[in-house]
Structure 1
């Protein structure tokens, strides 16, 4: 039997397994004339070993990377190390994910050979068919033999059910993506700007097919990936609770009496204006989670308006009160150091955090990061002043606050520096709303 013509080596890190499983799900259902193999590089050393072994057979090697913007600098260092350990003329490193989509030139300059732009399923399938040759394939950026930058545009967006949501062929499962894209287009969020500011939902029938496959494999927990859980089945800003109930009822039935369904908890959340008694009681009726995540982001109506969140502070208060009354543990996402914050905005956010903590909520704290691909990409890094840090620490010490907000401060500084190094034409940092803080 002939050996593989193409070997896909995945830099398989815990933080990005979901994305890889989706790609492999598409590949597992794809008919191709190319003889290929897939290998999982779970460490730097293992990845380099897979590359060396595959290259030694004469096959072309396509090394797949996926990462978020905060990880880009660290992964670039890892890439350089792997290239020192294993490289060759038939080895190509392809970066995908939100960072590569938003900053393809920066990604290429950091050492990757190609950047995948937009949704990766159809791009990967085309690359496999072409044995790794990028010519004529949409969804890529790369440099040709002369160094000229080639951009082939975003890959075509297809219905979610066009491809499986996890990799049955390789036995790799994950939370199921039921919605892609988001109509809200918050100025700090990468999701709507990578996938478009509209919703694309998996049908209930397609979701049930996945749940049935999970149960067949002995899996008992069903979780969902969605930017806004109660928006399932809707194409507007209004929730469609009938569609949500149909989804949850089908999943509950499909996973069986020993299984569990989780909705509105990690890795998804519920918008505050979508929290109602009816919605919460649907979760209670069909789901196992006793906690939900509510996205507040700020305690200042002015900042929420500037960020285009689409709700105010009072909706957050109401959501937490209702959730607590219905017996849920409420986790509230808040971002500190948002662009244009003045001292009054900071005080309002801290005051809201204390108020919600007193009601029994836990605050999931974040520091604002100027993420590539967003309208606030060119904003300064989140600036959290010493007094705010002390107050956040006090909330943390009483068990009312958690999160990696300190680490995000460091990421934010690096992202802001990268944005300075790669300015966008026609964009200026001075266009952002800024209000000086009081000394």
Structure 2
């Protein structure tokens, strides 16, 4: 009988699982390992008795922990007759492998998963599986793996064009899990898979990158205009009808917003907006969180964005560790300035301590009633959007899970 890897599909897992499925679907392992998925734990019963072993795979972020705990309990209560093991990767266990052990996962995947999932299949078939598979030891070359699964047309996702980030902001784990030297997908491969997408009816392109305008840049900051134009022109030539660059699921750094790159966006892309990460209107907090840009450079980027006919959608984080009332007042004043002067739309977040980041063990600063009232009023007027209220609750839950011992880093 064959083995089966059963991917536990959740709202936040698609971008994590698809590259793993893509990594496996063209390999020899498919002869002995089926790739399945479920959206409900009880769906595991459909496969009970049909395989030598079920390998139930999770990928999750820290704020998914409550759901994962419920799922692990539900699996235990199913009474499966088929032997099973449970494995996990994704941001949470990558940043806190010890937490993965406490939760009871049989194997834990850290960092890049494309190569380690293949190694796991090797070990599965040879009977010598390990507890830890560490993808940070030898980071993958994105060009050695497909960006999405071509044998499963429903699993086409935005192409990840950059992995890693040179900035190392203290609230974020990306630089610490995937490295400070950006790794880029080659333009030829992006076009190859985009061509396949067009052939199968997907004519809209979006991309995954921590700083889209830094694509193929030697330092990840200064735009490589030649490379960007080659990519954007190529996408149009192969039949992409709509291209969105510098919008969700990507964003751009203020330092990377230049007239030259905005000309390309206006000429070749269908953006009506640009997502710019600023995070605070307090110079003190920008320095404290390691942003490495100033409010002046951020305003220049926002001004340029508006001059080129795009709406600036600007990210801010509230409740940052060490944030004082004076910092919040400065941020509110600066938000008001860019809203009235440049028509910016505010994308608000509340700080959540994420494992793997330097601020993983710091608690959010509580938002006072005055701040909550301001954010609520801006939301009602549709001048501000985002899951800041839900993130405030999740930040408290993360603190609680840490106190319970489910989070160790």
Pair in the same fold by TM > 0.5:
yes
Per the TM alignment, residue 412 of structure 1 is displaced from its structure 2 partner at its CA by 0.9
Q: Which residue of 1 aligns with 2:105?
A: 112
Cα RMSD for the two superposed structures: 2.1
Q: Distance in 2 between matches of 1:153 and 1:218?
A: 34
Q: Which residue of 2 aligns with 1:126?
A: 119
Per the TM alignment, residue 44 of structure 1 is displaced from its structure 2 partner at its CA by 3.0
Q: Which residue of 2 aligns with 1:8?
A: 5
Q: Which residue of 2 aligns with 1:144?
A: none
TM-score of the two chains, using structure 2 as the length reference: 0.93
Matched, 1:245 2:245: no
Q: Which residue of 2 aligns with 1:414?
A: 397
Q: Which residue of 2 aligns with 1:32?
A: 29
Q: Which residue of 2 aligns with 1:431?
A: none
Matched, 1:74 2:53: no
Q: Distance in 2 between matches of 1:192 and 1:17?
A: 21
Q: Which residue of 2 aligns with 1:264?
A: 246
Per the TM alignment, residue 187 of structure 1 is displaced from its structure 2 partner at its CA by 0.6
8 Å Cα contact 1:6-1:61 kept in structure 2: yes
Matched, 1:396 2:386: no
Q: Distance in 2 between matches of 1:208 and 1:268?
A: 18
After superposition, give the CA deviation of every residue in 1:367-390 in whole Å (9 maximum; x if it has no partner): 001100000011112421111111
Task: Give the unaligned 5+ runs of structure 1.
Answer: 142-150, 428-439
Matched, 1:41 2:38: yes
Per the TM alignment, residue 85 of structure 1 is displaced from its structure 2 partner at its CA by 1.8
Per the TM alignment, residue 119 of structure 1 is displaced from its structure 2 partner at its CA by 1.0
Please give the residue correspondences for 1:200-349 in structure 2 after superposition, counting only pairs within 5 Å: 200-236=183-219, 237-256=221-240, 259-349=241-331
Q: Distance in 2 between matches of 1:15 and 1:266?
A: 14
8 Å Cα contact 1:181-1:199 kept in structure 2: yes
Q: Secondary structure at the match of 1:56?
A: coil
Q: Distance in 2 between matches of 1:423 and 1:374?
A: 17
Q: Secondary structure at the match of 1:399?
A: coil
Q: Distance in 1 between matches of 2:314 and 2:209?
A: 17
Q: Distance in 2 between matches of 1:377 and 1:152?
A: 20
After superposition, give the CA deviation of every residue in 1:179-202 in whole Å (9 maximum; x if it has no partner): 000011111111111111110000
Q: Distance in 1 between matches of 2:83 and 2:365?
A: 42
Q: Distance in 1 between matches of 2:117 and 2:406?
A: 29
Q: Secondary structure at the match of 1:32?
A: helix
Distance 1:207 1:134, change over 3 A: farther
Matched, 1:97 2:81: no
After superposition, give the CA deviation of every residue in 1:15-72 in whole Å (9 maximum; x if it has no partner): 21121111111101222385121212022332x324xx2x413411111111111112
Q: Which residue of 1 aligns with 2:164?
A: 181
8 Å Cα contact 1:185-1:308 kept in structure 2: yes
8 Å Cα contact 1:231-1:240 kept in structure 2: yes
Q: Distance in 1 between matches of 2:393 and 2:105?
A: 24
Distance 1:132 1:197, change over 3 A: farther
Per the TM alignment, residue 83 of structure 1 is displaced from its structure 2 partner at its CA by 2.5
Task: Give the unaligned 5+ runs of structure 2.
Answer: none
Distance 1:175 1:29, change over 3 A: same
Q: Distance in 2 between matches of 1:404 and 1:272?
A: 23
8 Å Cα contact 1:264-1:292 kept in structure 2: yes
Distance 1:424 1:80, change over 3 A: closer
Per the TM alignment, residue 391 of structure 1 is displaced from its structure 2 partner at its CA by 0.9
Per the TM alignment, residue 272 of structure 1 is displaced from its structure 2 partner at its CA by 1.3
Distance 1:191 1:132, change over 3 A: farther
Per the TM alignment, residue 265 of structure 1 is displaced from its structure 2 partner at its CA by 0.6
8 Å Cα contact 2:113-2:135 kept in structure 1: no
Distance 1:153 1:136, change over 3 A: farther
